[in-house]
């Protein structure tokens, strides 16, 4: 009998353990890391009467007993179709929805046929990677993010563009880790048997495509070298792309905006449009890019507020020049925004009164 990984399962890491979240049955299981090999083994349907222990390359794992335990816990489930009966109905509802969403005529329901099943199955193997990594000469592993206390409402009311920040070189690696991880980091991972890998971030990422990437340009922070880095979502690390001080170049790219002269560093957000276009072939793809970019901007602003950093977004810049410095292929990845980041300086466009101050002023004027 054929078994495969349960479609309704989310896999994530917590406290150095692998957690299997069977969200429909409201159960979570913590497993030893070495048993993750068994899950990978069942990433394609396997006949449990013909298990091949040699494929695991780990003699310490009793594949038969682990498989039985996973079946008992609902981690592995029977494949719900026979070998000669392939149809789109064998995919879960999210895949059927995806297929419908890509119909030119949205009034047309999916057709559960052999040909359409294999069309979707073939598409799965053309999926662009959901992770981007550089073969960098230098990689800086960031500290594990800390769950710092923060008043959400205070962060929201204090959220604003702070265009001028103090020259400051003592922003810690821990602060950078918290800012990057909680804005665009990986919260959990899922393997969808219909469409392949998906990751879930601290921002809503349409279709699990995780299109947003972050780059960091360091001008004066001592904890890392000066240069241009890519933030690796997979390993929570900074990958060096180019070494040097690029302040004058970024000042020019950003249209000579004064805030670039004093900022300690810049963040650059991009969208991997190839990941989106792989799944959504119509206007939904455009919406997905900007929904995710907007959510990332709000996360960065709220985190900067909580971490007592000043942040200011720049939406107009020289695209072709910045593409060349980040080694971007514009057919696959586009820049969505630039951000200046530094220690807060009490110089903003306006001061926001508290609600209490606002009411008092209203009462006095009334």
Contact assessment for residue 361 and residue 353, using Cβ atoms and an 8 Å cutoff: yes
- Give the pair of three-digit tokens for residue 343: 């220690």
User: Would you write out the chain's pLDDT as a tens digit for each of its 366 residues?
Assistant: 788 888 778 888 777 778 888 876 778 888 888 888 888 888 788 888 888 877 777 778 888 888 888 888 888 888 764 444 556 666 666 666 666 666 666 566 656 666 666 666 677 777 888 888 888 778 999 998 888 777 888 888 788 888 778 787 889 999 999 999 999 998 877 766 556 677 888 898 887 788 999 999 999 999 999 999 999 998 899 999 999 999 999 999 999 998 899 899 999 999 999 988 887 777 777 888 989 999 999 999 999 999 989 999 999 899 999 999 999 999 999 999 999 999 876 544 445 556 676 567 667 655
Max Cα-Cα span within the chain: 83
**Nearest-angstrom CA–CA distance, 24 and 169:** 48
Residue 97's contacts (CB-CB under 8 Å, 6 or more residues apart) are: none
Q: Which two tokens stand for residue 365?
A: 């004027």
What pLDDT shows up at residue 1?
Answer: 76
CA distances from 284 to 20, 180, 366 (A): 31, 27, 49
Q: Identify the DSSP state of 28.
A: E
Q: What is the DSSP letter of 233?
A: T
Sort 354 into a burial class: Cβ within 10 Å, 0-12 / 13-18 / 19+: exposed
d(CA 203, CA 293): 9
Q: What is the pLDDT of residue 247?
A: 95
Q: Label the pairing between strands 309-314 and 227-232.
A: unpaired
- Residue 83, pLDDT score: 42
| Structure-token match 């070495």, residue found | 34
Q: Could you identify the residue written with the tokens 């990422």?
A: 205
């Amino acid at each position: 009998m054929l078994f495969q990984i349960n479609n309704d399962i989310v896999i994530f890491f917590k406290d150095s353990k692998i957690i299997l979240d069977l969200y429909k049955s409201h159960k979570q299981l913590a497993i030893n890391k070495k048993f993750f090999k068994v899950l990978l083994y069942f990433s394609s349907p396997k006949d449990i009467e013909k298990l091949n222990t040699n494929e695991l390359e780990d003699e310490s794992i009793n594949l038969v007993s682990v498989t039985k335990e996973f079946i008992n816990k609902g981690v592995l489930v029977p494949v719900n179709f026979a070998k000669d009966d392939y149809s789109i109905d064998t995919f879960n509802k999210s895949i059927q929805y995806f297929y419908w969403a890509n119909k030119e005529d949205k009034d047309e329901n999916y057709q559960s046929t052999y040909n359409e099943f294999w069309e979707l199955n073939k598409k799965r193997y053309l999926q662009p990677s959901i992770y981007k990594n550089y073969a960098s000469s230098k990689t800086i592993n960031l500290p594990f993010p800390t769950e710092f206390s923060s008043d959400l409402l205070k962060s929201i009311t204090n959220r604003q563009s702070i265009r001028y920040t103090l020259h400051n070189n003592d922003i810690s690696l821990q602060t950078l880790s918290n800012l990057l991880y909680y804005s665009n980091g990986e919260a959990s991972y899922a393997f969808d048997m219909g469409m392949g890998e998906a990751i879930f971030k601290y921002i809503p990422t349409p279709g699990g495509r995780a299109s947003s990437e972050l780059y960091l340009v360091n001008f004066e922070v001592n904890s890392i070298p000066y240069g241009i880095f890519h933030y690796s979502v997979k390993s929570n690390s900074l990958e060096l792309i180019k070494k040097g001080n690029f302040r004058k170049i970024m000042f020019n790219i950003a249209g000579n905006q004064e805030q670039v002269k004093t900022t300690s560093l810049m963040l650059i957000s991009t969208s991997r449009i190839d990941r989106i276009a792989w799944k959504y072939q119509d206007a939904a793809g455009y919406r997905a890019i900007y929904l995710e970019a907007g959510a990332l901007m709000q996360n960065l602003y709220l985190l900067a507020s909580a971490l007592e950093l000043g942040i200011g977004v720049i939406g107009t810049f020289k695209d072709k020049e910045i593409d060349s410095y980040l080694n971007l292929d514009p057919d696959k990845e586009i820049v969505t925004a630039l951000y200046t980041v530094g220690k807060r300086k009490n110089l903003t466009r306006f001061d926001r009164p508290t609600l209490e101050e606002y009411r008092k002023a209203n009462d006095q004027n009334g």
